[in-house]
Structure 1
């Protein structure tokens, strides 16, 4: 019988530069510092990506996480914000037409500005972190559970593993992923940003972060959905007339389904609200908008096959920040 190396895992959602909240959450989970690095004698953390952007302590959070990973006290998967930063800072192979893999538009700069401002004064740190991000796994397949930032798509993952032999990208893959509609682009979009549907009739909605969007994020675990509202999974509600729009056959072909019989799956990315709980019996989303004064959330996984609401642990960012000292 296999001897498990850890008694359990603590999966932590999107940090987005909330370094103080991360320290508080690790302490709440029973981690303490040993030789300057957080550790637990019997458990291991798995970070779900999106360590960077938006928050006030991005560099500190990166050091905490990378030190834990390097010491074997944690693992991590890449988030879309690490990928965006990597592409933004990587010169393309066609500099005359596109200087960087991600265009330096005002919108892209705005999303990344906190990270760039905090890392640019430390160029060696910035280089080291970018190299580390490129080496981050895209997904983790354990015997008992799975981890990915936004969406587990088995067919794409199988093709990726056959192509690269593991769960990490290389330079060629990174460059190709910047070309729309290639396999590399599709895989990174699906695993790191999830599934989405286009709003009908070319409609546009303005999200809470001020962006005009023609697509909305969707569940990849909905059972027999009938209407748009049955698959919507984002903090911005759909307009009522759109919410009650029946799903077309084309819509259904664009959806992905993670069956209830699959291993437990842990994801981040989706800006959930309210009291943390599983989104299905075998899926837990751990992104509760910490950087927007929500919650920095962990799930204490002890190899259960049905995920439970009482296994969530969190720091309420607004309450902790405003609490009198």
Structure 2
């Protein structure tokens, strides 16, 4: 296994961005991709799921590694049916909109769509590369241990999919947590309004902030933190905060705002849609901001 990696965040069918991000890395160092290769945002000018997927699969064949994102898992379910003939992921308007660029290019449950989603099943949910960890949304050791008891290499099998789609079992919840991240219910009587003005009563938790104690310190994706209660976040089995002495871990998924930055000495989210960055890891146990490379 390589002792140096260029870590690349979510690409979302943007081939120009993908090439620019890869150009930030050392050409002699393999890439480590954090998932979410597909499904362009609605304001993307030239989405190209096929080009991004071809690029990533080519790099993986040449020594790169990649983990599965929630968009890959969603696609796997979208293009398969259960024993009742109903799609494992609903084809409702919300899901159609999210998956539009992929379907426009490959169709629904076509041979090409099924070929790509079979390749998605080759992507592990997490990777521990020896001194470096990769996951799309959340490194939760209890969930990883639960999944690994059935799937030691972190790769899902076709027979797991109906269970994951039903979202009822501990296994399904563990899979979902790794690719979408943890949420907690707010105390009764409390809520907040998201970026679209919708009132919510569950909040994303920054599992990498091991020293966070209050709702306002631990919450993510809350436009007006003052809407949150001022009290302490209760300890919960739903959130495994990342230990400060654990190996460095990288994630994408969270659409962070502002200038790219490290979240802590051993944690980094690289998903900054408005700017873009990669991290050049060289074996360090404590992350250095000098190794964070940002697009001009």
State if a TM-score over 0.5 links the two structures: yes
Shift of 1:63: 0.8
Instruction: Answer yes or no: is 1:53 the counterpart of 2:43.
Output: no
The superposition leaves residues 295-323 of structure 1 with CA deviations (integer Å, 9 ceiling, x where unpaired) of: 2321100000111111111325xxxxxxx
> Counterpart of 1:173 in 2: which secondary structure?
helix
Q: Which runs of 5+ in 1 are unaligned?
A: 32-39, 317-325
How many residue pairs end up in the alignment? 291
Answer whether contact 1:173 1:184 (CA < 8 A) is retained: no
> Counterpart of 2:39 in 1: which secondary structure?
coil
Matches within 5 A, 1:97-136: 99-120=86-107, 123-136=110-123
Answer whether contact 2:68 2:123 (CA < 8 A) is retained: yes
Answer whether contact 2:195 2:223 (CA < 8 A) is retained: no
Answer whether contact 2:14 2:49 (CA < 8 A) is retained: yes
> Counterpart of 2:17 in 1: which secondary structure?
helix
Answer whether contact 2:206 2:220 (CA < 8 A) is retained: yes
Instruction: Answer yes or no: is 1:188 the counterpart of 2:175.
Output: yes
Instruction: Answer yes or no: is 1:268 the counterpart of 2:274.
Output: no
Instruction: Answer yes or no: is 1:296 the counterpart of 2:296.
Output: no
Q: Which moved more, 1:218-227 or 1:162-171?
A: 218-227
Task: Give 2:232's aligned residue.
Answer: 247
**Shift in CA distance, 122/196, structure 1 to aligned 2, threshold 3 Å:** closer
Instruction: Answer yes or no: is 1:69 the counterpart of 2:65.
Output: no
> Counterpart of 1:287 in 2: which secondary structure?
coil
Q: Which moved more, 1:119-128 or 1:254-263?
A: 119-128
Over aligned residue pairs, what C-alpha RMSD do you find? 2.2
Q: Which runs of 5+ in 2 are unaligned?
A: none
Answer whether contact 1:21 1:315 (CA < 8 A) is retained: no
> Counterpart of 1:295 in 2: which secondary structure?
coil
Shift of 1:252: 4.1
> Counterpart of 1:46 in 2: which secondary structure?
strand
User: 1:11 pairs with 7, 19, 24, which one?
Assistant: 7
Instruction: Answer yes or no: is 1:259 the counterpart of 2:249.
Output: no
Point out the structure with max Rg over C-alpha.
1
TM-score relative to the length of structure 2:
0.90
Show structure 1 runs of 4+ deviating over 6 A.
none
> Counterpart of 1:300 in 2: which secondary structure?
strand
Shift of 1:174: 1.7
Q: Which moved more, 1:122-131 or 1:148-157?
A: 122-131
Shift of 1:203: 5.4
